Structure formats: structure tokens, C-alpha cells
Structure 1
Amino acid sequence: MKHPVTITLEQCAKTWPDGSRALHPVDLRIEGGRTLALLGPSGCGKTTLLRLICGLEAADPGSRILFDDEDVSVQAPEARGVGVVFQNYALFPNMTVAQNVAYGLRIRKMPKPEQAERVGHMLSLVRMEALADRRISQLSGGQRQRVALARALAIEPRVLLLDEPLTALDAKLREHLRVELAQMLRTLNITTVIVTHDQDEAMMLGDRIAVMSAGRLEQVGDAETLYRQPATSFVGEFLGTLCKVRARLEQGVVAGGDEVIGFRPHEVELLPALPSALQARVAARFFLGATLRLQLELDDGQAFPVILPADSGHRVGESVSLRLTRPLPG
């Protein structure tokens, strides 16, 4: 088995002809065999960064992209040895499943017996061997996603790049394929970069997550670190719900003050109303099966949700005080 490639980006940037910056200089290292999720809203630069890695866009002068110690910054896409799965999959509708998977192998003039063996192995990997002779138009969205992945992997790429690969699927199928894809990526031992705007997808698929905003890297780390220790307010708000109040903490209890305190809705304990603390009123109550969501309002009009166990007995109109079990930077 080939050793997995480490990707290093040094001052990697992209400026459009009109002078606007799609990507400010980025320094980033993606360890060999690991999966990095590029997470952020539309237009934040994550797809541009992916296209720079695969060579579909040229980086600004002074940028460097290294695969191990090899500078691939000016190499053509086909010379970099990358496999790419786009969100529309870009499959050939006039070909069968097996022919689609074999396409890159034919272009590389691999002998037909080896082609057949490699295609069979790839289809087995994605559990599509029974549909090898089926046309693309006869496949479901999930099946097309598997074919696109098999085609990208068939050429034994040094790097696998996935651009919003599950976006086109319905919610239920997307959830199912997230689990399948996560398990597959863990076993492939191939360096992978996946672009997504979905926080759950990033947390499930990425060994590390790079959160992006307005063409800049906000923070890079594992999911738990980013969730529990966001470096910026943007990261805290994008990776889960972040509540903010103007107050101060006295031994974890929310009291009057002018500091900005951040916290997750489920990391709050409700106490009987305390005279020394800010008073909150339960303005609305929503039973969600496994949890209870309360909308709270402070005396000064600030409002925010809290998430409690489903058997919590709090009712609309009740006055409570708050203790934060894990406050975050505001």
C-alpha cells in the first residue's frame, strides 16, 4: 500500500482578475491518511481552496502547495494524482456503472484484465457490484454518489477531494450515507479533503475541521475542540447554537453586568429564582421527544433558548435563574 500523502499549504491565496480576494493567504497542513473538512457558509472560499489543491484554479504568485516534499503548485490537475467527487457527480449518462468506474483507467491505458479487476474491487468497496451493468439514469441519488466515489478511487489517487458530495440528496439518505462515507474514509488510509456547509457532516466526516469565513481560516482543530473551545464568536455560532447574554458570572450563576457571556443551550442548569441573580421567565415551552426546549427572556428583554431533559417540569411563566455548566467566550 502506498504511503498516504501529507498536504502542506504555504501562504496559499487566490485573487480574481478584478482584484477581489477569494482566499486570503492560508497556511495549513493536512496529515497523510487523515480527512480534513472545510466548513463554512457559501462564498467563504472553501471550494476555491479545494480547486487550488486539485489544480483547477491557479494560486496567486508566492503560494505553495506541497504533496509531501513535492511542490505541485504549477502542475496540471492530471499530474497531481487527485481524485475528485463533485456535488453533481459528473457521471457519464451514456455509460454503465462499470464503464464510468473504468473511465480513468482507460484514459491511463491500463490493460483490460487489470481494469476489470480494479473495477470489480471498487464496486465491491462501495457495494455496487450487482449493478455493474446498469445505466446511470437507472440509479438513485445514493447509488450515483457511490459510483462517483468508486470512479475517483479507481485511479488510486494520492489525494481524494470531495466537494459537497451529499448536498443533492434528501435528508434521510444524506444521514445514512454520512455514516457509510465516514466508515469508508476511516479504512481507506488516503488523505481526503471534503467541502461542506453542514456542521454535522463536518463533525462526522472530518478528523479535523477547518472553519472558514470571508476567505480566511478562522480555526482548525478536531470537532470537540472547536465546539468546546471556539477561538472566535463566528466559530462558536457556526459550529452549533451559541447563546449570548450581557451579564456576568458569580460562581457560574448569571448575574447583572455588562460582559458578553456565551454558552450552548444544553449547558445550562435552571435554578429557583435567586434575588442576587438575573431573573429569567419561561416564555415558551416545546416538547421535542428526547429533549425539552424552553425560550427564556431576561428582565432586560434578552431572549435565548435552553435545552433540558424531556422530563424537566418547568412551565411557561415560571421565573428561574441560570447556572452555566460550561461558559464560552462571548
Structure 2
Amino acid sequence: MFEIQHQQFKSARYWFSRRTQIDMSPPYQRKGDLWKIADRQSLIDTMINGYDMPKLYLADFTTLKSELNVAGMRYAVIDGKQRLQAIFEFLNNDLPLSENFRLEENPDLKLAGLYFRDVSEIAFEYAERVEEFPMPIVHVVTDEAAKIRELFLRLNKGIVLTGPEKRNAMIGDVPQVIGELAGHDFFEQSTSYKDTRGENLNNAAKILAFELNNEPTETKRVNLDRVVMDFAADEKTLEVAKLGALQALDKMAVVFGKKDRLLRSAGSIPAFYWFIRSIEVERLRMVRPFLETLLAEIDGRSMPLVIEQLEIVEYKAALRNINDRTSHISRVAILKASFLRWLDIVGKS
């Protein structure tokens, strides 16, 4: 079933009171907090000064029992997440008006920098404009994941989505598996690079591609998109690859600490992953000190002991094309050879 329902618009206050019943992070959604504070404040400015806003779309589970309702809530955001978050933040007194805010019909009324509670006390009628703003929300009643993902992509066609964001909305079971891997403790706790536009999803997709091919492979956008399409209906192969990836990510979580400074580059993750995947459990505690030593030698901060000079040149060259198959293979081979030297040096071989 797939039905678009243009119901009577309800107020921002109505939706604010029901915010706990809105799943803001369904599988196909982009990450939250992508809007800068100025963007969020601009939306509130729009509402107070009487301008319109584009339609928002919610999956409505109030009349249809659907397996898509994974969070068990009444609604799920399809499009308009950033706008909803901005409105909820303002009404919850977490977001002030811009310091440059100007009430167009009464420029002498100074509301700039004020929170909702302050505006309510000084000029209730303008705070009420936000509360009573008729939210242009369209209800989507469906139990078809493919239809929601297609709608999301069509609504965002004029917006520059990242590769991970588009891939996350593609049809099939692969996006869900990528999402599960990206939610692993390793990504949530150990990595220290910024995950603002789907970097964790991108690395999870690369890792899954390695597992599905049983070797490092090309991880350019077109290759990852092809993986999503090729294995869309291959549940058995996908499940085996997922379990293998989860086990290897468990090892990664053991090796690295919280917000580990060795993981400040998202591009380092796939090669580290394939290297650590083959390490015996009893040697995992040796991996981080080894990597710290190795990276210092590669960066020229210490004399090369575990890596040869030619390998340093090769490793740096591989970093210039981090998504090439040869780059992954070269870096993993150097990591493995250097680790054996490290074990020999510390007497643990």
C-alpha cells in the first residue's frame, strides 16, 4: 500500500507536543544536526515574519500496521527532519533567535537573541506565530520500504546528497546491513573523525564490500552503489558477510580506545579493518602500540624500525588514491609485513 494524504495542517505546537512519537532517524534518513545554527534561526525568522515554508513528509503509522515502523512510534520523518528539529529546539528554549533578527512589521521591537520563553513574555503574539504556525505536513501511509526510499530520493532530487545518503535510500536489504554496521560500537565510540555527512555509513559500506568480495576491492562511489544493487536480494550471502563484519568490528573495538586519535582519518578505516580482521585474538593488544609506532615512522617522527624506507614511499603513494583496490591491497600488505617485524622486535613472535 502507498497513499499520499494531504490532511488539514496542524500547528507547530500540536507536533511539538507529539515529538516523542516521531521517529526522527528511520533507516533512509540523513543524519541530524546538519543545519548550522544560522540555518535553524533563519527558519524561525521565516515563521515569525509570516513567510511560508515547503511541505514536510511523515510516514503515518496510525492507521496501518507496518513492518517499517521499527521504532514503534506513530510517525517517522521522510523529509523535513532539519526543519522539525529547528522548530522543536526553539519551542523547547534550546535555540534563540538570531542576533540579527529583525521583525519586519515592527523593527523597533527588539527580539534579537531571545529564546521562545523571552519572546512569549515580551510579545506573546509573535511567539504565538511559531506555536500556531500551520505545519505543511503531508502524511504518507505505506508498508512498502521501496516506495518511501523512492519518495525520499525524489523529494531531495534538487539537493546535493552525499554518496552514503543516496546509497542509504536505495532499494533492497543492503542499506539496512550497512546501517547496522555503522551503528557498531567501534564507529560510535572509537573513531574520532567527524561523521556529519555519512562518513560512518560510507566506511561501513566499504567494509561490507570487502566481506562480500572476500578481499579488498574498489570502494569508489560507483562500486559501492553496484554492491547495493548486486546483493539487494541475496539474503544468505549478505547475512554471512554481515556476521563476518560484525566479528571483525568487535576486534577493532578492542584495539582502539574512545575517540582514538589514530582514527582521525576516515580513509584509514578500511585498510586497518582488513589488517586487524586477520589478527589472532591473543595478539590484539599488541596492535595499537604497533600502529602508533608505524604511523610515527611513516610521518617521519621517528626512525624507521618496523617499516622499510621503500614501504614508506609506497604507503604514502597509496594514500593518494585511497579508494583504489591497489591502494587497499598495498597498505594492508605493508601493515602485515610491518606487524611481523614489530612482533620480532618486541619478542612476541
TM-score (norm 2): 0.26
Higher strand content, 1 or 2:
1
Q: Normalized against structure 1, the TM-score is what?
A: 0.27
Q: Identify the structure with the greater helix proportion.
A: 2
